[in-house]
Structure 1
Amino acid sequence: MRLSPAFLVPFVVTVPATAQAPSPAERAEAERRERQRELDAIKNDLARANAERTRIETEIGTMRADRAALVRSGIEAAARVRELEGKVIESEARLAGLDGREAELRASLDERRDLIAQVLASLQRMGRRPPPAMLVGADDVLKTVRTAMLLGTLVPEMRDAVRVLARDLDDLSNVRRSIVAERDTLKRDMVSLDNERIRVEALAEARQKQLATSEQTLDAERQRASGLSRQADNLELLIGRMETEIAAARRAAEAARTSVVARGPAATDRRAQMAALQNAGRMNPAIPFAQTRGSLPMPVLGTRLREFGAQDGLGGTERGQSFSTRPGASVTAPADGWVVYSGPFRTYGQLLILNAGGGYHLVLAGMDRITVDLGQFVLAGEPVGVMGDAPPPAAAVTTGSSQPVLYVEFRKDGSNIDPAPWWAPRGPGAQTNERVRG
């Protein structure tokens, strides 16, 4: 019996040669080279980051005296960071799918390894030019005959198995190429993201340096605010005391109370509001907060963990919303407002409170760093903080998340309100917000 070359070739090309195991010395040398490569990569990343920061700081230095330019640049940089964070999330999700497909194909091939080995052994025995019977023993002849009889019944099934095997190997090759391309894309996006984060941080520093005429006075107020935060038992008491006892917060609260926002006939009012929104140098809200319902940008790219009014896991109900985020995610102001508290508070982690005017306060908690200061007026979309690498202890307990968690709370005249109706509807690409798990 003879088997066609078309049947033989797939088996021959799919069986890898057994590689010789490296010696201990070779393994040690390979590990040393790998460590050196990692060290060189870290050094290169640091050098690149320092060079990029120097370039950005030089660029920002030309606009340091221009508040509107700094604010506008900060908002644009934060938007680019948010866009790149979304691309990174999508790339990681695609990579996870590709890695899973590769694992499936490998497992499928591994399951057929014994079968392939058996068939190859049989084919070797059934070579196209078998040795003459007189040169082999009777047992060998019998084994060959029996193998021929067995293969005669199995050839059609083996041919089908070969086709499936070839298809799987082709799929595996395509998946590997896709993984390499996706990792290259992810690497480029991560470099761009790092550069934009450096820009956001430099802009935030420039904004803070621009703020206070007396840094010594502001330091004293920060210390006083820190003392109040230790004395206050809850957010309502903290807000009340900050806005009456801390000069910077008191001035911010007064500005929020007396701020004049366009309130004319509907058409005129709308045109004035749109013009105000384009003005990055504005010092009061472009739109009264009560009119922003359904239009506020989300402060972070993340997955909703807990909703307002849900059980909080401690016997009570949630007074706000919780979002899990990527480590190091950028946090932006959801609305125009004045900073009336900025710093740590009890189990909230780093806490930021904005007075949005009209009796509304916005609370953002759980950040690793806050990049705005007491009394500062911030615009919607302006960067205000950065998430850390893990959730605050309290958030880890109540949400069960191992990722950073941003807590958002809205208040009207001291009472909690549901933030959900205030967010702008999410576009087609916003579904990436629901899969931040890496």
Structure 2
Amino acid sequence: MIRSALATCLCLALVGPAVAQSPADAARAAMAQLEEATQKLDDAESARDRVRALTEAVQAFETGLAAMRDGLRVASIRETELRRDLDARDAEVTRLLAALSALGASASPQSFVHPDGPVGAARAGLLMASVTPALSEAAADLRADVEEATVLRQLQQDAADTLRLGLSGVQSARTALSQAMADRTDLPRKFTEDPVRTALLIAASETLDGFASGLTQISEGETEIDLPEIRDRKGALPLPVAGEVLRRAGETDAAGITRPGVLIATRPRALVTTPAAATIRYRGPLLDYGLVTILEPEPDILFVFAGLETVFGETGQVLPEGSPVGLMGGPEGEPDDILSPSGERTGAALSETLYIEVRQGETPEDPLGWFADDKGMTE
């Protein structure tokens, strides 16, 4: 079902010249990614391989559905423009149809007899010889506009059922991924969390700074696990989630609060992954940040992800690069959410927010200095 749902999404994204080429390219890429992920899932012999394949399948679905939304938004806007133009030209269309009816299918300059005799007839013939092609061209343009509007309307009607199938497919893939993460036992563990110390640290911390500085106190039995260095990849790491930068580091929000991290607007239930291999230093609720995951890709560097609804993994585990960290909140989505161009243009689809903070030692750094601007971004 996963493959067939995205295949249908791809077909709709490619329909008609009115749909932008970029959504079609994105849909093709998503289809290829899904095919590859499905083959990997069939060939998976370990929990790690299964998690990786399911992660790629979820990401392919998200890309494909986003491409379909973009294509349908373009189609809907174009259909609205055509309808408005046709309505505005109603009087013109009426006059055009009346003129064409008067001419008849076999009208020609020779068929007109003028009361002023041969000279008047000749003048009338010359006039109609110049008018008739223009009338025919206007009629052809009108017919093309009406046909295009009809095709676009049918496209949007068919999209509802297709989107339901796609949403069902991505939901199934997310459920399977959540189960695969829960069943996974092959991840190395760098340390074991001390729940008592964790609770005491949370109670004693009034800020994220204070909590982050005390993270090493809530572990026991730490072992050395070598992870690839990421300092030389600074500025090239992929963003952990697809979305748009809503607020940059140091910008003040509506409540007058200034934070050193960035806020990413995402779609509901979007998948969040780790941009590099990292140890889970903490996962759970924290202060006013909601559900938080703190990753340590290497000593003295922390990635903080806040605003998740579901988190994967256990504190102390070491996640490979690209592993799922959690899911954003929000409803699964309904087909009607994307069939109106206004909803997409006002940002209604990007209803969830992920807060990302990067800390080196005890100093916060601008996360966008670590992540590539064109990775994981939409639009």
TM-score by length of 1: 0.57
The aligned counterpart of 2:267 is: 326
Q: Partners of 1:418 and 1:364 in 2: how far apart?
A: 14
Residues 295 and 77 (structure 1), Cα distance of their counterparts in 2 relative to 1, 3 Å cut? farther
Structure 1 unaligned regions, length at least 5: 1-55, 64-68, 129-151, 262-284, 391-399
How large is the Cα RMSD of the aligned pairs? 4.0
1:85 match: secondary structure: helix
Q: What does residue 286 of structure 2 align with?
A: 345
* Shift, 1:353, TM fit: 0.9
Q: Is contact 1:92-1:186 (8 Å) kept? A: no
Equivalent position SS for 1:346: coil
* Per-residue deviation, 1:183: 6.0
The question of whether the paired residues in 2 share the 8 Å contact of 1:95 and 1:183 is answered with no
Q: Secondary structure at the match of 1:342?
A: strand
Residue 410 (structure 1) aligns with: 358
Shift of 1:87: 1.7
TM, length-normalised to structure 2: 0.65
Query: Which residue pairs with 1:335 in the alignment?
Result: 276
Q: Does 1:234 align with 2:216?
A: no
Map Cα deviations across residues 305-353 of structure 1 (whole Å, 9 max, x no partner).
2223444555565412221111000111122222221111122111111
Deviation of 1:112 after TM superposition, in Å, equals 3.5
- 2:178 is paired with a residue of what secondary structure? helix
From 362, 370, 373, give the equivalent of 1:422: 370
Residues 129-278 of structure 1: matches in 2 within 5 Å?
Answer: 161-176=138-153, 178-179=155-156, 186=163, 189-207=166-184, 221-222=194-195, 225-226=198-199, 228-244=201-217, 246=218, 249-251=219-221, 254-255=222-223, 258-259=224-225, 261=226
Amino acid at match of 1:241: G
1:111 — aligned with what? 88
Q: In structure 1, how many angstroms separate the alpha carbons of the residues matched to 2:180 and 2:284?
A: 20
Using the alignment, how far apart are the partners of 2:304 and 2:235 within structure 1?
18
Supply the distance in 1 between the matched residues of 2:177 and 2:96 (Cα, whole angstroms). Answer: 62
Q: Partner amino acid for 1:380?
A: E
Alpha-carbon contact 2:188-2:318 (below 8 Å) kept: no
Residue pair 2:215, 2:281 contacting (<8 A) in 1 also? yes
Listed as ranges, the matches of 1:296-375 within 5 Å are 296-312=237-253, 317-375=258-316
Distance in 1, Cα, partners of 2:310 & 2:196? 17
The 5 A counterparts of 1:65-144 are 69-114=46-91, 116=93
- Superposed displacement of residue 100, structure 1: 0.9
**DSSP 3-state at the match of 1:348:** coil
Matched letter for residue 369 of structure 2: P
2: distance between equivalents of 1:408 and 1:420? 9
In 2: Cα distance, 1:127 partner to 1:289 partner: 76
Amino acid at match of 1:433: M
TM-aligned CA distance change 1:111 to 1:203, over 3 Å: same
Shift of residue 208, structure 1, vs aligned partner: 6.8
Partners of 1:301 and 1:325 within 8 A in 2: yes
Partner of 2:119: none
Q: Distance in 1 between matches of 2:377 and 2:158?
A: 24
Separation in structure 1 between the aligned mates of residue 256 and residue 358 of structure 2, nearest angstrom: 21
CA drift at 1:382: 0.7
- Secondary structure of 1:410 counterpart: strand
Q: Distance in 2 between matches of 1:386 and 1:337?
A: 18
Check whether the contact 2:54–2:176 (CA below 8 A) recurs between aligned residues.
Answer: yes
Match of 2:9 in 1: none
Matched, 1:291 2:232: yes
Q: Could you say if the C-alpha distance between residues 101 and 226 of structure 1 is closer, same or farther in structure 2, counting changes exceeding 3 Å?
A: farther
Give the structure with higher Rg (CA): 1
Deviations 1:33-89 (A, max 9, x none): xxxxxxxxxxxxxxxxxxxxxxx9xx99x97xxxxx323322332123222211211
**Per-residue displacement from partner, 1:236-262 (whole Å, max 9, x unpaired)?**
221333431x3xx344xx33xx43x3x
Q: Is the 8 A contact 1:302 1:325 kept in 2?
A: yes
The alpha carbon displacement at 1:229 in A equals 2.4
Contact map agreement 1:297 1:380 (CA 8 A) in 2: no
- Quickly say closer, same or farther: Cα 1:372–1:122, change in 2 above 3 A: same
The amino acid of 1:99's aligned partner reads: S
Among residues 326, 336, 345, which one is paired with 1:385 in the alignment?
A: 326
Q: State the alpha-carbon separation in 2 of the partners of residues 297 and 193 from structure 1.
A: 22
Distance 1:295 1:118, change over 3 A: closer
Where 2:139 maps in the other structure, the secondary structure is helix
Aligned residue identity for 1:165: L
Counterparts of 1:347 and 1:123, CA distance in 2? 70
* Cα shift at 1:425: 6.8
Letter in 2 for 1:408: I
Residue 90 of structure 1 aligns to a residue in which SS?
A: helix
Deviation of residue 356 (structure 1)?
2.4
Question: How many residue pairs were aligned?
Answer: 299
Question: Post-superposition shift, 1:206?
Answer: 0.7
Rounded to whole Å, the distance in 2 between the matches of 1:72 and 1:122 is 70
Identity in percent:
27
2:16 alignment counterpart? none
Distance of aligned partners of 1:341 and 1:299 in 2 relative to their CA distance in 1, 3 Å threshold? same
Residue type at the aligned position of 1:305 = L
CA gap 1:250/1:334 in 2 versus in 1, 3 angstroms: farther
After superposing the two structures, state which structure 1 stretch, 308-317 or 159-168, moved more. Answer: 308-317
